[in-house]
Amino acid sequence: MKIIEGKDIKKFSVIKEMVEKAWSVRASSNGKTRVGAACAYVDEGIVVEGCNIEHRFRSHDIHAEVNAISTLVATGYESFNSILIVADREQFTPCGSCMDWIMEIGGENADVMFQSSMTGDIKVYKAKELMPHYPF
C-alpha cells in the first residue's frame, strides 16, 4: 500500500479528476450508504464515475464500483488502470463481488484507491494485494 497525501492530489491531473467526479456522483447515491467511484483508463485520460444505488430488496443493490466499471465498458473500453472509491468513513474496501469485477476488468495490477474525505489522503493498493489468492 502507498498513500497519496491530500495536499499532493493536485499534482496528478487524472487522480484529481477522479476525486472530483467520485465525490460529485456520490451525492446522487440513494439510501443510507453513500458511495462514489471513478474508474480511469489512464493511458487515454478517460475517467467515468458511478454511485451506489440501493434497492428495497438489498440483493438488487448496485455498488458504485460496478456502476463505474460497467459505465466504462459501455463507453467502449475493455479495461481500466485504476479505480477510486470514496465514502465518508475511515475503513472500507470493495466487497468480494466488486473485487471480482475489479480483477476481471482491471486486472491484478489495477490501482484500487480509497478516500474518506474530499481533501483527505488516498490509500492506494494493487488489486492483487486485496485479492492475493485470486484464481487467474
Domain-located, residue 45: yes
Measured in whole angstroms, how far is the alpha carbon of residue 117 from the centre of its chain? 14
Please state the domain count of the chain. Answer: 1
Q: Residue 59: what pLDDT? A: 78
User: Band of the pLDDT at 42, cuts 50, 70, 90?
Assistant: confident
Beta bridge partners of 41: 46
CATH number at residue 35: 3.40.140.10
Measured in whole angstroms, how far is the alpha carbon of residue 106 from the centre of its chain? 11
User: Band of the pLDDT at 60, cuts 50, 70, 90?
Assistant: confident
φ/ψ of 34, rounded to 5, equals: -100, 115
Task: Provide the residue range defining the domain that includes 74.
Answer: 2-130
Domain-located, residue 33: yes
Domain-located, residue 135: no
